[in-house]
Amino acid sequence: MPLTDDQKVDARALHGWLGIATRFNDWIAKIMDDYGFEEGSDFYSNLSKTGGRPRKDYLLSLDVAKEIAMIGNTPKGKATRRYFIAAEKAAAAPTSSAPSSWTAILGSAAPMCCTSSTGQRTARLGHTGSSKTTKFGKLIRSTLVSARGGG
């Protein structure tokens, strides 16, 4: 899941990554209404030309993107919730460290985390066959390290 230079997430990309079956325009309107996200702080929108009718695009703050991913009622939404629950538990336990394999926690439906062949934990998004660590995954990992008091 690519991030913009100012740490924003494209809502259309998140919609696709989560595997939401509802049409994007209907889904985003419901999410914004149901959860009270505010334009200017939680997200930014703009109209883009598509050669026909203009399309409204949304850039979400990273926190809002995480929240939307966690409430997603899809396998990837469930994996996201499990990931952040495990990360919170690991961060809250003063003598505990993160599990050696996030896959053990998240199961096979969890493309977000893995242990590399060198034993280094990495966070990533996308299909399980992808070896590319994304900016979003790196940000999640650095957030966890900071929350645990690491540097």
User: Does residue 113 lie in a domain region?
Assistant: yes
pLDDT, residue 21, reads 93
The pLDDT of 25-49, averaged and rounded, is: 92
Number of domains in the chain: 2
User: Does residue 143 lie in a domain region?
Assistant: yes
User: Residue 14: is it exposed, middle or buried by C-beta count within 10 angstroms (0-12/13-18/19+)?
Assistant: buried
Residue whose C-alpha is closest to residue 67's, from 98, 20, 35: 35
Whole-angstrom CA distances from 37 to 64, 66, 71, 100, 107 are: 8, 13, 14, 36, 31
Residue 111 — very low, low, confident or very high, per pLDDT cuts 50/70/90?
very low
Q: What is the CB neighbour count within 10 angstroms for residue 97?
A: 10
60 secondary structure, DSSP code: E
Q: What residues pair up with 55 in beta bridges, in sequence order?
A: 48
Does 137 lie in the same domain as 106?
yes
Q: What residues pair up with 113 in beta bridges, in sequence order?
A: 123
Does 113 lie in the same domain as 64?
no
User: Does residue 23 lie in a domain region?
Assistant: yes
pLDDT, residue 44, reads 93
Whole-model pTM over 0.95: no
User: Does residue 48 lie in a domain region?
Assistant: yes
Cβ pair 31, 25 in contact under 8 A: no
User: Does residue 131 lie in a domain region?
Assistant: yes
Does 106 lie in the same domain as 67?
no
- Between 141 and 89, the higher pLDDT residue: 89
- Residue-range definition of the domain harbouring residue 49: 8-71
Residue 125 has pLDDT above 60, yes or no: no
Residue 62 — very low, low, confident or very high, per pLDDT cuts 50/70/90?
very high
